[in-house]
């Protein structure tokens, strides 16, 4: 109580800070006041530009005439956590912050573990201040946008205009120095400005937006990056707004695109879906429904050539599915698969191998005839991977209904339709390939390949083809 | 192809990279450019320099070196059989673009991925070259994330780790059967083999760093991976199980989930519908439960419903608590930390606060309310000095009381 006796009971002190972010000055002043046992109600804190302390005007002694702490005053105690929180909270724009921190410091002398009590009002208030300063600093690291300008000596300087909520500029100068140590840069704000020339940091009075450069050619690249990296199929505007509130947008070159991007997102997504969609209808459940549905397919460009879709034929539950490439000229006219020259050749070999075509389901990987018109003739064109993949949806529907135990793919297009990737027929033939649904795939050449060969080559290939078919016949007999 | 301008190439190659979820720049070694000739810093915490309207953070310049690809993976917009415009950057172009963005404080660094041109080795070489130019020619000290190609020579993958902060290899799909169906050119065993190699390289480099000051750094931000959700039939239980095996087996920093998005020029084997964003969100929540809340994978799987998927209307922690009600209520004044972490509505921060505050006094319900976001969700599962939930914990309709309103969800739940 000796300390109290030395300060007058009703004296009201006012401390004026030279800079609004001067934590070190506050700490020294507050330490002295605690040592003199001046309770929080009798201290006012004034920052430059602030309105001062209403109670202090008449009673305060001259500024700078704070009482000198007595020599035997006890040390002032403050926990580590308090110092961390106070360093942050001191930068907040709340005019009450210094009074709050002093009150906490005062209370800490009696209760050194006060900061651990997060349900205490003062503690929570200070933590909140410190948290919003931390957030503001973090947003400054993130959202400062430099623009390149040429200086008089021919060098370049990177200049940014930023509007922080709190007095965080000086406290964050180090971050930019460590990052851009070899660049000349300036950050202009309405509170103050800092400049780095590669060696020294300097400070200058507040600036306005007009002092900052108004563009940079690289911004066009950046904006196009921003627009391209956005996935319109997953619009989550709320998530963006909470992390990048609108108040920052005006100083970010990319943000002007946002309203347009949001507005266009739904139609872009619909386009993305349409561009790849067959239709979203569930796969047909019967072969009859499938036949009807195939007739209306216009998913790939082949359907626009004017041919009719050719559905497969054969019984539901057939143990063998024979998959060709696509209908040819005669198949397109007849509306049935494998009735042209290649089909007739296939029939011969099937009979030879002892496979009854009527008991198999015969179809094609691609349902329309792809051709190029040469005068009156329609010349066969091989379907490309994209077309085979589009049509795969139909083949899968057929497989789901027929449930064959064995699929015989004639040629590389048919194999792709089943496997989803292109395989070499020569490498894949002669052995079964297990499929995920439990069935198996056998790959061989397309009979039209034999039609294109002559002499010895044809004889050799015919032998291999016959051999493949007889293997398949044996396998089917085994599978029952 | 060279007639494309940088702007056009950037558009094509950024557009092609947008299906990769990761953009993290955190958790690497501290670096700065003080006293050097270079530029850049990393200070541990990642920085999101912008957010796109899809809610994703833009921290890195995320581009492909090229979107030409010899592979034919069905879920990928860049697959060989897709009809997209193709473009290609040179390693120098990538490095220059990274530096000019970095100088303006747009980004934390580079995330470079690529389609496969010519061969896996050739592509990997080009990617490593871009990273080398950044590190050696520009003395760049910011963040680099390289996607590595599992089929490439291990020596090249090792090089990538020396330049990059983080390397990643995508497992792509949660099940091997999904992978062989949708990514026929990829091989699950090869992917895991490459991840195993990266893991042992990281461990070795860390160990060397402890003993020799000048030992080279190898991927100080570790390795991560990505799985696509909703392109195949895998259930949440499959996915969580797979993620847990990856975390344990390869010490991954992160497993990213990416809801399968409809892609332009999609393959016909894929579902074409809105990406299952809520499902992705629930998977990330379950990921958090495993990483920060001490749940084991089989416990998360216990929270799934009969179809093997996590409920979409409530979060997995609440789902777990509702299934195991006999473990509640917990006394906030006595229960150990690891049990409090299981109370729905209490996060790690709230639990830490409760533990700090209860050293000073016995907590009443009101005190707990001040330490958490919402007391309504917490109440049925805790006791405080003035509060017992009595019958509330066991009420049959508790789920309905706690679940958010349904109508809001339906739009996205598909």
Kindly give the interhelix angle for B277-292 and B236-250, rounded to the nearest 10 degrees.
40
Residues from chain B that touch A224, judged by Cβ atoms under 8 A, are: 7, 10-11, 14
Q: Over the stretch B270-308, which tens digit does the pLDDT of each residue have? A: 655 666 778 888 888 999 999 899 899 889 998 888 888
% of chain B surpassing 90 pLDDT: 35
How does strand A371-374 pair with strand A377-380?
antiparallel
Quick one: A346 and A393 in the same domain? yes
- Range of the structural domain that residue B375 is part of: 316-413
- Range of the structural domain that residue A43 is part of: 2-138
The verdict on a CB contact (< 8 Å) between A178 and B52 is no
Quick one: B210 and B352 in the same domain? no
| A298-322 average pLDDT score | 84
Of A401 and A307, the structure prediction assigns the larger pLDDT to: A401
Q: Does A209 touch chain B (CB under 8 A)?
A: no
Q: Which long-range contacts (CB under 8 A, 24 or more apart) does B304-307 make?
A: B304/B235, B304/B236, B304/B237, B304/B240, B307/B235
Q: Is residue A282 part of a domain?
A: no
pLDDT of residue A5: 41
Backbone torsions φ then ψ of B257, nearest 5 degrees: -110, 140
Residue B318 C-alpha, separation from nearest chain A C-alpha, in angstroms: 22
Region of poorest pLDDT, from A7-11, A117-121, B127-131, B255-259: A7-11
C-beta of residue A30 within 8 angstroms of C-beta of residue A82: no
The verdict on a CB contact (< 8 Å) between A146 and B57 is no
Strand partners, A43: A13
Residue A123 C-alpha, separation from nearest chain B C-alpha, in angstroms: 12
Residue B412 C-alpha, separation from nearest chain A C-alpha, in angstroms: 10
% of chain A surpassing 70 pLDDT: 92
| B163-186 average pLDDT score | 87
Quick one: B57 and B122 in the same domain? yes
The Cβ of residue B54 has, within 10 Å, a number of other Cβ atoms equal to: 22
Quick one: B65 and B200 in the same domain? yes
Region of poorest pLDDT, from A59-73, A302-316, B225-239: A59-73
For residue B40, what are its two tokens? 């850049």
Q: Is residue A101 part of a domain?
A: yes
Quick one: A109 and A239 in the same domain? no
The Cβ of residue B397 has, within 10 Å, a number of other Cβ atoms equal to: 7
Quick one: A319 and A197 in the same domain? no
Of A281 and A471, the structure prediction assigns the larger pLDDT to: A471
Q: Is residue B388 part of a domain?
A: yes
Q: Choose the mutation target among A79, A198, A242, A276 for the interface with B, i.e. most B CBs under 10 Å.
A: A276
Q: Which of A119, A227, A422 has the CB atom closest to B371's CB atom?
A: A119
Residue after which a domain boundary falls, among A211, A244, A265: A211
Q: Over the stretch B302-359, which tens digit does the pLDDT of each residue have? A: 888 888 888 888 889 999 998 888 888 889 899 999 999 999 989 898 999 889 888 8
Region of poorest pLDDT, from A111-115, A298-302, B89-93, B128-132: A298-302
Quick one: B266 and B322 in the same domain? no
Q: Is residue A57 part of a domain?
A: yes
Q: Over the stretch A223-251, which tens digit does the pLDDT of each residue have? A: 999 999 888 877 788 888 888 998 899 88
pLDDT of residue A291: 83
CATH number of the CATH domain containing A305: 3.40.470.10
Q: Over the stretch B52-75, which tens digit does the pLDDT of each residue have? A: 888 888 999 999 999 998 888 888
Q: Which of A236, A393, A396 has the CB atom closest to B55's CB atom?
A: A236
C-beta of residue B237 within 8 angstroms of C-beta of residue B299: no
Of B81 and A144, the structure prediction assigns the larger pLDDT to: A144
C-beta of residue A235 within 8 angstroms of C-beta of residue A265: yes
Q: Does A298 touch chain B (CB under 8 A)?
A: no
| A256-275 average pLDDT score | 77
Q: Choose the mutation target among A120, A216, A231 for the interface with B, i.e. most B CBs under 10 Å.
A: A231
Residues in chain A: 480
Most confident of A56-70, A300-314, A396-410: A396-410
pLDDT of residue A173: 94
% of chain B surpassing 70 pLDDT: 93
pLDDT of residue A9: 58
Quick one: B64 and B147 in the same domain? yes
Residue after which a domain boundary falls, among A88, A117, A138: A138
| B129-145 average pLDDT score | 94
Residue after which a domain boundary falls, among A211, A229, A263: A211
How does strand A320-324 pair with strand A406-410?
parallel
Contact pairs from chain A to chain B, CB under 8 Å: 229
Q: How far apart are CA B335 and CA B346, in angstroms?
A: 13
Residues from chain A that touch B268, judged by Cβ atoms under 8 A, are: 276, 278, 299, 389-393
C-beta of residue B52 within 8 angstroms of C-beta of residue B100: no
Q: Is residue B23 part of a domain?
A: yes
Quick one: A428 and A338 in the same domain? yes
Residues from chain A that touch B47, judged by Cβ atoms under 8 A, are: 138, 141-142
The predicted complex's ipTM stands at: 0.85
Residues from chain B that touch A180, judged by Cβ atoms under 8 A, are: 33, 39, 103
Q: Is residue B199 part of a domain?
A: yes
Domain count, chain A: 4
In the predicted structure, residue A109 carries a pLDDT above the cut 90: yes
SS3 state of residue A313: strand
Quick one: A105 and A224 in the same domain? no
Q: How confident is the model at residue A6 (pLDDT cuts 50, 70, 90)?
A: very low
Q: Is residue B303 part of a domain?
A: no
Which helix (H) or strand (E) covers residue A317, if one does?
Answer: none
> What is chain B's mean pLDDT, rounded?
86
Quick one: A173 and A233 in the same domain? no
In the predicted structure, residue B410 carries a pLDDT above the cut 50: no
Q: Which of B41, B360, B363 has the CB atom closest to A178's CB atom?
A: B41
Q: Over the stretch B252-275, which tens digit does the pLDDT of each residue have? A: 988 988 877 766 666 656 655 666
**108-167 in chain A: CB under 8 A from chain B:** 113, 116-119, 124, 138, 141-148, 158, 160
Quick one: A130 and A36 in the same domain? yes
For residue A408, what are its two tokens? 């015989």
Q: How confident is the model at residue A1 (pLDDT cuts 50, 70, 90)?
A: very low
What residue ranges in A273-417 does DSSP mark as E strands?
Answer: 320-324, 361-364, 371-374, 377-380, 406-410
Backbone torsions φ then ψ of B91, nearest 5 degrees: -55, -35
Quick one: B188 and B111 in the same domain? yes
Domain count, chain B: 2
């Amino acid at each position: 109580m000796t300390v109290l006796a030395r300060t007058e009971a009703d004296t009201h002190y006012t401390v004026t800070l030279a800079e609004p972010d001067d934590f070190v000055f506050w700490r020294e002043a507050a330490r002295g006041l605690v040592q003199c046992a001046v309770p929080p109600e009798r201290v006012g804190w004034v920052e430059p530009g602030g309105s001062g302390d209403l109670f202090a005007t008449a009673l305060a002694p001259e500024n700078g005439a704070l009482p000198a702490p007595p020599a035997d005053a006890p040390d002032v105690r403050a926990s580590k956590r308090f110092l961390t929180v106070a360093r942050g909270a001191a930068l907040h724009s709340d005019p009450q912050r210094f009074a709050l921190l002093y009150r906490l410091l005062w209370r800490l002398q009696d209760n050194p573990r006060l900061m651990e009590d997060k349900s205490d009002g003062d503690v929570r208030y200070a933590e909140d201040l410190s948290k919003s300063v931390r957030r503001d600093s973090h947003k400054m690291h993130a959202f400062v946008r430099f623009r390149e300008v040429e200086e008089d000596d021919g060098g370049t300087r990177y200049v940014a205009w930023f509007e922080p909520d709190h007095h965080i500029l000086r406290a964050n100068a180090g971050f930019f120095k460590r990052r851009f140590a070899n660049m000349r840069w300036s950050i202009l704000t309405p509170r103050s400005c800092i400049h780095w020339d590669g060696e020294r940091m300097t400070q200058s009075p507040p600036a306005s937006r007009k002092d900052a450069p108004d563009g940079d050619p690289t911004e066009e690249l950046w904006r196009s990056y921003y627009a391209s990296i956005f996935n319109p199929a997953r619009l989550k505007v709320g998530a963006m707004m909470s992390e990048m509130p609108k108040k920052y947008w005006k100083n970010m070159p990319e943000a002007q695109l946002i309203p347009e991007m949001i507005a266009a997102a739904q139609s872009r997504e619909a386009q993305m879906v349409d561009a790849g969609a067959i239709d979203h209808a569930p796969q047909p459940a019967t072969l009859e429904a499938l036949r009807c549905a195939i007739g209306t397919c216009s998913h790939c460009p082949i359907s626009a050539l004017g041919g009719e879709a050719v559905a497969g034929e054969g019984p539901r539950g057939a143990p063998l599915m024979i998959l060709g490439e696509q209908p040819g000229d005669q198949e397109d006219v007849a509306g049935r698969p494998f009735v042209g020259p290649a089909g007739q050749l296939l029939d011969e070999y099937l009979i030879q191998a002892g496979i009854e075509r009527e008991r198999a389901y015969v179809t094609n990987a691609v349902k329309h005839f792809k051709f190029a018109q040469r005068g009156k003739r329609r010349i066969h064109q091989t379907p490309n991977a994209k077309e085979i993949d589009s049509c795969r949806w139909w083949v899968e529907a057929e497989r789901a209904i027929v449930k064959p135990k064995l699929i015989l793919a004639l040629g590389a297009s048919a194999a792709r339709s089943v496997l989803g990737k292109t395989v070499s027929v020569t490498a894949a033939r002669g052995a079964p390939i297990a499929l995920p649904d439990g069935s198996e795939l056998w790959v061989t050449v397309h009979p039209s390949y034999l039609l294109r060969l002559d002499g010895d080559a044809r004889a050799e290939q015919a032998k291999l083809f016959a051999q493949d078919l007889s293997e398949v016949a044996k396998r089917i007999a085994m599978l029952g | 192809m060279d007639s494309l301008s940088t702007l056009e190439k950037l558009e094509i190659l950024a557009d092609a990279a947008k299906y990769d979820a990761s953009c993290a720049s955190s958790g690497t070694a501290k670096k700065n450019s003080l006293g050097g000739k270079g530029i850049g810093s990393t200070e541990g915490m990642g920085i999101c320099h912008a957010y796109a309207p899809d809610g994703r953070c833009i921290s890195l310049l995320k581009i492909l070196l090229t979107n030409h690809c010899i592979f034919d993976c069905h879920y990928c917009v860049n697959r060989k059989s897709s009809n997209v415009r193709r473009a290609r950057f040179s390693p120098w172009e990538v490095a220059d673009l990274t530096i000019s963005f970095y100088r303006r404080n747009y980004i934390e660094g580079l995330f470079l991925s690529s389609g496969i041109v010519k061969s896996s080795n050739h592509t990997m070489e080009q990617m490593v070259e871009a990273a080398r130019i950044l590190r050696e020619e520009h003395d760049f000290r910011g963040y680099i994330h390289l996607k590595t190609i599992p089929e490439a020579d291990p020596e090249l993958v090792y090089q990538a780790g020396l330049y990059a902060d983080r390397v990643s290899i995508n497992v792509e799909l949660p099940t091997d059967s999904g992978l062989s169906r949708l990514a026929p050119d990829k091989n699950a065993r090869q992917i895991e083999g490459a991840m195993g190699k990266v893991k042992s390289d990281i461990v070795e480099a860390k160990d060397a760093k402890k003993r020799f000051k000048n030992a080279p750094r190898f991927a100080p931000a570790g390795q991560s991976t990505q799985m696509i959700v909703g392109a195949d039939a895998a259930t949440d239980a499959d996915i969580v199980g797979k993620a847990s095996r990856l975390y344990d087996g390869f010490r991954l920093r992160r497993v990213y989930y990416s809801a399968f998005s409809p892609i332009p020029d999609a393959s016909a084997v894929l579902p074409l519908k809105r990406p299952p964003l809520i499902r992705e969100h629930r998977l990330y929540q379950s990921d958090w439960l495993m990483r920060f809340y001490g749940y084991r994978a089989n416990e998360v799987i216990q929270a799934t419903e009969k179809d093997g998927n996590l409920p979409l209307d409530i979060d997995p922690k609440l789902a777990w608590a509702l299934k195991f009600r006999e473990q509640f209520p917990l006394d906030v004044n006595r229960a150990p930390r690891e049990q409090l972490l299981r109370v729905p509505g209490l996060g790690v921060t709230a639990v830490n606060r409760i533990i700090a505050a209860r050293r000073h006094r016995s907590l009443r319900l009101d005190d707990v309310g001040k330490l958490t976001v919402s007391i309504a969700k917490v109440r049925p599962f805790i006791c405080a000095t003035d509060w017992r939930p009595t019958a509330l914990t066991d009420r049959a309709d508790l789920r309905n009381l706690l679940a958010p309103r349904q109508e809001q969800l339906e739009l996205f739940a598909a």
